[in-house]
Chains A and B, each alone.
Chain A
Amino acid sequence: GQNIDQPTEMTATEGAIVQINCTYQTSGFNGLFWYQQHAGEAPTFLSYNVLDGLEEKGRFSSFLSRSKGYSYLLLKELQMKDSASYLCAVFSGGYNKLIFGAGTRLAVHP
């Protein structure tokens, strides 16, 4: 079956670091995406990992371990505007579709 798990909710303090974990079990794997979605808006692309290791992009980093079926999104120097849902999605290349986790709702407090 296809299964992607991530925590439902997380809270963090402005200026801090937060790590959002994602574990997956899918029948195909051609890469893992992280998207950010503010309430009522479109998901926006944050990162894409296809090989094991860490990808860094400004305040955001994403890590992938294919052997463990595990990824995390690291957000540094948190800002209030980072309060949003973060979606982990696996690309099943053989099926040309993204399989999404339920999303992690992050609340950043002053």
Chain B
Amino acid sequence: KAGVTQTPRYLIKTRGQQVTLSCSPISGHRSVSWYQQTPGQGLQFLFEYFSETQRNKGNFPGRFSGRQFSNSRSEMNVSTLELGDSALYLCASSLTGDSSHGYTFGSGTRLTVV
């Protein structure tokens, strides 16, 4: 079965712009989580969606938002980009979101803000 697909793989944006990243989970998986990975902070949880509903949110400013569609594909949006938003953004796909089914990560979108 196809894995978790994230697009685009690489992105360069200017400060102040906004960006939208996409994640297509494994077929049949209804939970999608988003993480930000930076060298200094490691992986940090952004938010989790299940059946189009945000169930949980991490400690990120409101500039970070997301949504999930009826086909379970998810997008995350970052508005008013700052240099510190440069990171690898990973999404993780899970059948239900609980630990018993595990999580499969996509290869990520590397965002560079200049």
Interface set of A (CB-CB < 8 Å, partner B):
30-31, 33, 35, 41-45, 48, 50, 87, 89, 91, 93, 95-103
**Do A97 and B56 touch (CB < 8 A)?**
yes
Cα distance, A83 to B104, chains bound together (Å): 21
List residues of B (18-36) whose CB comes within 8 Å of A's CBs: 31, 33, 35
Given the complex, which residues of B lie within 8 Å of A42, measured CB to CB? Answer: 4, 90, 105-108
**Do B58 and A97 touch (CB < 8 A)?**
yes
Q: Which residue of B lies closest to A44 (CB)?
A: B105
Which of B4, B31, B99, B106 is A50 in contact with, Cβ under 8 Å? B99
Bin the interface of chain B by size. 20 to 34
B interface, over-half SS: strand
Contact bitstring B38-78, A, C-beta under 8 A = 1, else 0: 00011111001010000110100000000000000000000
Given the complex, which residues of B lie within 8 Å of A45, measured CB to CB? Answer: 102-104
Cα distance, A42 to B90, chains bound together (Å): 8
**In the assembled complex, how far is the CB of residue B22 from the closest CB belonging to chain A, in whole angstroms?**
15
